[in-house]
Structure 1
Amino acid sequence: MNRILESSSPFSQTTIVAIIAICVGFTSFVRADETPSKIPLWKDGAPGSKDRMHEAEVVTGTNVSNVHHPSITPYLPTKEASTGTAILIAPGGGHSKLCLGHEGDSLAKWFAERGVAAFVMRYRLCREPDSGYTLEGHAMDDTRRAIRMIRSKSKDWNLDPNRIGILGFSAGGELAAYSAMHPQPGKPDSSDPIERVSSRPDFQGLIYPGKSDTFTVSEGMPPAFVAFGFHDREDIAFGMAKVYLKYKEANVPCEMHVYSEAGHGFGFRENNKTAAGRWPERMLEWLTDRDLLVQN
């Protein structure tokens, strides 16, 4: 059998193992409950929000606002199906709300069913009226803390600490890009074990991210998967094409998908059978190409 694979198969054995891992994931279920519990990023409250940490979030349909106690919600595959790879998902919402429906929980469950642990982040909202938060400060503090938390608990969650990525939509895409642009090293002497590990994501997914004119790319940055619609606003439809060239010039691996019939906010809906609706499958293929779905 090995001889046949070596002589006639167009796939490497590594690729075949990755495909098997994906197939196993299709038949496995998320270990967590249908509605897993949120895990606060700071047990005793986030810096700058401790006096508001007990305020209730405001839920409007599948959207959430009034976030003062940032958290992650884990969707974990079974131990047998786990690839060891994890994705932190940052939903969009213009920094005034979090669109958890089509840019959060359903996608996290989809990834977990395919062997990829996913964590939905609820971060502080800098454009919500009177929040007092900033993108560069509070929202990015939450993002870096979330990556560090996942990495610090990698053994508990059957993860490879070198396979922790981030995926963001729209406003959340800004956070994903900035986390790759401006990572912070671990603080080995910290009394907090979460702070001892790096906030650098090992890969990034940028789904119609905003503020592309502020994105910089330098050699050694994490590889990127990019997807957006042809009919999106100019800073994305034109801007991300320019950002792709920055990745190319810096020799940072980047895969870009532009969907000719899509605009902004297509997100993830399992019943969306358009080309844009199938972007998660393309990202799964990209992860396979990068050997990130091979079980350890």
Structure 2
Amino acid sequence: MMHIPTVPFGLRILVLCSAVLLFQPVWAADEKPQAGERLQKLLKRFPGADKNKDGILTRAEAIEYRNKIRGAQANGVKPTLGDVKYGDHARNVLDFYQAKSDQPTPLVIYIHGGGFVGGSKRVNPRQLQLFLDAGISVAAIHYRFINGKDILLPEPQRDGARAVQFLRSKAKEWNIDPKRVACYGGSAGAGISMWIGFHDDLADPKSDDPVERESTRIQAIGTFGGQSTYDPIKIKALIGGRAWEHPSIFKAYGVETAEEALHPTPEKQKRYDESSAITHLTKEDPPLYMVYNEADGPLPENARPGQGIHHPNFGRDLVKKMNELQIENVFVYKPKDRDPNREMLEFFQKQFAKVK
């Protein structure tokens, strides 16, 4: 459940922009900009570079966008609000990035990976900039780490759901549209995102806490290397090898031996089921965009414990069950010639557009 890196964003934009600047003629200040082939290729992949939104990317706009991305990579886009508490635990904090808009904006919540024992809420700069340029605000959360004792699964998932409720409670103050919310993340963050999306609404209308009265339901999910289940028995059947022996799986449930993991008590099995997103999947659940990069096929006989924990079979199992329920989903495997960051943005925009 380590973080799955996406296609390198900085190299791509800098190489493309550099190619544009090297091979395009230098225009005089009063010369009408030309829509060269290289510029238009760049525009298709990075429409946010077209500053005046006239459908023609100029050399000046390409330079400005290149510098903007460079700045985001070097310095990081600073959050509008940082380390805002959304719960009682020390790790119940989030950063909020406000998109510029006169109208309430959609919200995308980033949930980091790290095997439920590590990771940071620092957002991929290019993904962040893509969302902000599209008028979508972004939140990035921390959550409690499992410790094998009193913090087990699904406590991190419940933290994620609490963050959704907290952010909805700030809708008016932070100019958020509470009807247009999506979650995405890699590995453990993907599992939490799916759990929030598939789980029944955790809102408690009678609670004294106004945050708990808010809905946990979301409109779209995005994942990188996501695990549909954290049940070691099901992982063994679905992936094979020793993927089910990942150290975080044992720590997640406070088990120490393979025998204990594969022969759970009824109480432990109940925790396996509650912690796994796919257990909660129903036909009312939101669409899912998923990306997988790990090696396909059967695992080798000498596989390491935990090897295969991001296997595409997790996604294929989701596709099968979501198709049966007629829920929209997109499965992407090793997107060599695709831009999954932009595709995920467009997928979210499509789902947001359906909300009335």
TM-score, normalized by length of structure 2? 0.57
Query: What displacement does 1:210 show?
Result: 2.4
Aligned pair 1:238/2:313, yes or no? yes
Tell me which residue corresponds to 1:113: 133
- Distance, in Å, in 2 between the alignment partners of 1:22 and 1:161 is 28
Bigger Rg, structure 1 or 2: 2
Aligned with 2:160 (options 133, 136, 143): 143
Query: What displacement does 1:39 show?
Result: 0.7
CA RMSD of aligned residues (A): 3.5
Aligned with 1:175 (options 164, 167, 192): 192
Query: Counterpart of 2:194 in 1: which secondary structure?
Result: helix
Query: What displacement does 1:38 show?
Result: 1.3
- Superposed CA offset, 1:21-62 (max 9, x none): 9967999999x97244111112xx23xxxxxxxxxxxxxxxx
Structure 1 segments (4+ residues) deviating >6 Å: 20-30
Aligned pair 1:280/2:341, yes or no? yes
- Distance, in Å, in 2 between the alignment partners of 1:22 and 1:248 is 36
Aligned pair 1:78/2:100, yes or no? yes
Structure 2 gap segments, 5+ residues each? 1-46, 54-60, 230-234, 236-275, 297-307
Aligned pair 1:206/2:223, yes or no? yes
- Structure number with higher helix proportion: 2
Query: What displacement does 1:108 show?
Result: 3.0
- Superposed CA offset, 1:155-214 (max 9, x none): 222222111111121011111111122233422232222111111122111221125454
- Distance, in Å, in 2 between the alignment partners of 1:292 and 1:83 is 14
- Superposed CA offset, 1:208-241 (max 9, x none): 1125454243111111111112526365312211
1:151–1:21 CA distance, 2 compared to 1 (3 A): farther
* Aligned ranges 1:190-205 → 2 under 5 Å: 190-205=207-222
1:156–1:94 CA distance, 2 compared to 1 (3 A): same
Query: What displacement does 1:284 show?
Result: 1.9
Aligned with 2:115 (options 94, 109, 132): 94
Aligned pair 1:158/2:175, yes or no? yes
1:75–1:24 CA distance, 2 compared to 1 (3 A): farther
Tell me which residue corresponds to 2:252: none
- Distance, in Å, in 1 between the alignment partners of 2:219 and 2:314 is 23
Q: Is contact 2:111–2:192 with CA below 8 Å preserved after alignment?
A: yes
Q: Percent identity?
A: 19
Q: How many residue pairs get matched?
A: 234
- Distance, in Å, in 1 between the alignment partners of 2:49 and 2:159 is 31
Query: Counterpart of 2:289 in 1: which secondary structure?
Result: strand
- Superposed CA offset, 1:115-157 (max 9, x none): 1111101011115xx77411212x1221111000111211222
- Distance, in Å, in 1 between the alignment partners of 2:158 and 2:282 is 22
The AA in structure 2 aligned to 1:220 is E
- Superposed CA offset, 1:240-279 (max 9, x none): 1121111100111112211255xxxxxxxxxxxx63xx21
Tell me which residue corresponds to 1:250: 325
Structure 1 gap segments, 5+ residues each? 1-19, 47-67, 262-273
- Distance, in Å, in 1 between the alignment partners of 2:162 and 2:120 is 21
Tell me which residue corresponds to 2:303: none
